Amino acid sequence: MALRSASELPLSAELASELEQNQKQLIGLVIDPAFRLHDTGLGHPESPQRLEAIEAELQRRGLIQRCRLIQARPAVDLELLRCHTASYLQTVRREVAYGAAQLSTGDTTIGEHSEDVARLAAGGTLAAVDAVLAGRVNHAFALVRPPGHHAEADRGMGFCIFNNVALAARHAQAVHGLERVLIIDWDLHHGNGTQAMFWSDPSVLYASVHEWGNYPGSGAAEERGEGAGLGFTLNCPLPAYSDGQAVLTALDAALTPVVARFRPQLVLVSAGFDGHRDDPLGHFLLEDADYTALTQLCLAIATEHAGGRLVSVLEGGYGLKGLAGGAAAHVEALLAA
């Protein structure tokens, strides 16, 4: 079944009305109930309830009506092949069609609609890039699932099928002609897939701050890229129980000496909220306010070097209260910019 934006689960009349009335706002949101059709089963941490919790909190704080809706659309093979191999796309299609419970490439649960929803998540992220680079919005947040930053060129893993943020970087380059893209990854877990895709590529600067020793075990400070890409991978591994100030300080210290030389034309953010102190899969101690500070750091870089152009994409975050609070703080900071 091919999914179209909101084709299966239409937006509520109230939410649709609020979003349609705010077409002149400068912050874009990708929101689509079809993302909930990726069925991970009872008790799985990467559940449809994650998006429901975020959307409810954005509504409660009055943030939805201050943003502009960006319609998601499915990514096509040509777009996915910028980061993923043809054989991997065939693997995903075959295993979903055969009713497999999990991708054979790694620990990613799949269901009947998982390929279609993963394509919609990737395409929704690309639509957010298009909206920002076309000047329709200044910043955008793609509230998509499944997440993406663990997905490698030929392997899905860690709840991820397609690497949304990596695809966004390649889309910005291939379609919009950008030469330099910065990816900032503040998810608690290291984005091994994103790192691998740009390991030898000096046109994409990848910076990650993450809990050392947690899944997937990569992301040592010594991992800095190779060949022409040496020095364009920046890893900031921190110990368990690091707080928000430690995360912010480490990321700022890693980026400051490099970004001015790199001069990114677009800032992409792998916005995971599993560093929140309430998250069941991590051991960081971040509060909602720390996500405000991290967003402000990313916005400052985007403002100074990229004309303010920033797109964030949802990654992890599995404690619903902390996820919703952190994501709402992120949107509030984008709106305040």
The set of catalytic residues is 150
Task: Tell me if residue 145 falls in helix, strand or coil.
Answer: coil
> Which residues are within 8 A (CB) of 290 and not within 5 positions of it... i.e. 6 or more apart?
243, 244, 245, 247, 248, 275
Reference 145, options 13, 273, 321, 299; nearest CA is 273
> Which residues are within 8 A (CB) of 115 and not within 5 positions of it... i.e. 6 or more apart?
92, 93, 96, 161
Place of tokens 């998982």: 114
> Which residues are within 8 A (CB) of 328 and not within 5 positions of it... i.e. 6 or more apart?
54, 57, 58, 61, 63, 288
Q: Are 120 and 5 in contact (CB under 8 A)?
A: yes
Asked, as a colleague might, if the bond just before 237 is cis with ω within 30 of 0, I would say no
How many Cβ atoms from other residues are within 10 Å of residue 136's Cβ?
15
Residue 159: HSE in the Cβ half-sphere, 13 Å Cα cutoff: 25
